[in-house]
Amino acid sequence: DAGITQSPRHKVTETGTPVTLRCHQTENHRYMYWYRQDPGHGLRLIHYSYGVKDTDKGEVSDGYSVSRSKTEDFLLTLESATSSQTSVYFCAISEYRDIGTDTQYFGPGTRLTVL
Amino acid sequence: AQRVTQPEKLLSVFKGAPVELKCNYSYSGSPELFWYVQYSRQRLQLLLRHISRESIKGFTADLNKGETSFHLKKPFAQEEDSAMYYCALPCSGNTGKLIFGQGTTLQVKP
């Protein structure tokens, strides 16, 4: 497995509380991504980063924010968690420069339950 | 708009039977397509990609531009092939972003 860890691996929280998920990589890859995985929807991109302090929105970014202050860390924050954000969250990294270096490597996932 | 469609949520076959997991895409231009796989209790990982034209674990996938398809095939399924399979397409714009399909669970019965 590529050097990608996610923390926490499991979390149960209540509606309205803030939640931060962490993705940490040791590969020095430039690109990092946050996805959510839901039955019937597959993997959907929430936010991504193309460098330190450089981030952009993905397909389902409402209710989420991200930060990347160091190459190795990419944080996903749910400002005020809702039940619709119950999901499995995956982080991925890529060294992407062009075709052939665009493989994404995934973390183990975080299962988040919002009650 | 770019889109990836996997029409089957679940595909169940017996060991030794042929397998075809369907993937259709919408994309203007020459796409680079991927199949990712997630085995039970393992991370999502790249299985194969169009540009390499490799056969991985007995799986192959051919790009059919006329039908805009990239179906994943294996002539003889094994129980260890049971997993979730995702087809993916790069977004335009040189961002490294991927668009994933909805995923298909392959269940290979003994």
pLDDT in tens, A31-82: 999 999 998 888 999 999 999 999 999 999 999 999 999 999 999 999 999 9
Q: What is the CATH number of domain A4-114?
A: 2.60.40.10
Token pair for A85: 């954000």
- Section B74-82 average pLDDT: 97
Q: Where are the domains of chain A?
A: 4-114
Query: What distance in Å separates the CA atoms of residue A77 and residue A75, rounded to the nearest whole number?
Result: 6
Domains of chain B: 3-109 (2.60.40.10)
Q: Give residue B106's pLDDT.
A: 98
Helix (H) or strand (E) holding B78: none
**Which chain B residues contact residue A96 at CB under 8 A?**
95-96
- What is residue B55's predicted lDDT score, i.e. its pLDDT? 80
Question: What's the whole-number mean pLDDT along residues B44-67?
Answer: 87
Residue A99 has pLDDT above 80, yes or no: no
Q: Which position has the higher pLDDT, B66 or B12?
A: B12
- pLDDT interval class at A98 (50, 70, 90): low
Annotate A38-73 with b (16+ C-beta within 10 A) or e (fewer): eeeebbbbbbbbbeeeebeebbbbeebebebeeebe
What mean pLDDT is reported for chain B?
91
Is pLDDT above 80 for B92?
A: no
B59 C-beta neighbours (distance < 10 Å), count: 20
Listed in order, strand segments (DSSP E) in chain B are 3-5, 10-14, 19-21, 24-26, 34-38, 45-49, 60-61, 72-74, 83-90, 98-100, 104-109
Q: Whole-angstrom Cα distance, residue A34 to residue A74? A: 9
- What are B7-50's pLDDT values in tens digits? 999 999 999 999 999 999 998 777 789 999 999 989 999 999 88
Asked if B24 contacts B76 with a C-beta cutoff of 8 angstroms, the reply is: no
Q: Which residues from chain B sit within 8 angstroms of residue A108, using beta carbons?
A: 43
Alpha-carbon distance A111 to nearest alpha carbon in chain B (angstroms): 13
Across-strand partners of A5?
A24
Rounded to whole angstroms, the Cα distance separating B97 from B39 reads 22
Inter-residue long-range contacts of B8-11, CB under 8 Å, 24+ positions, other chains counted: B8/B104, B9/A40, B9/B102, B9/B103, B9/B104, B9/B105, B10/B104, B10/B105, B10/B107, B11/B104, B11/B105, B11/B106, B11/B107
A91-105 average pLDDT score: 81
Q: Do B90 and A102 touch (CB under 8 A)?
A: yes
Cβ-defined contact of A103 to B46 (cutoff 8 Å): yes
A103: contact with B, CB 8 A cutoff:
yes
Q: What is the pLDDT of residue A11?
A: 97
Q: How far apart are CA A9 and CA B91, in angstroms?
A: 29
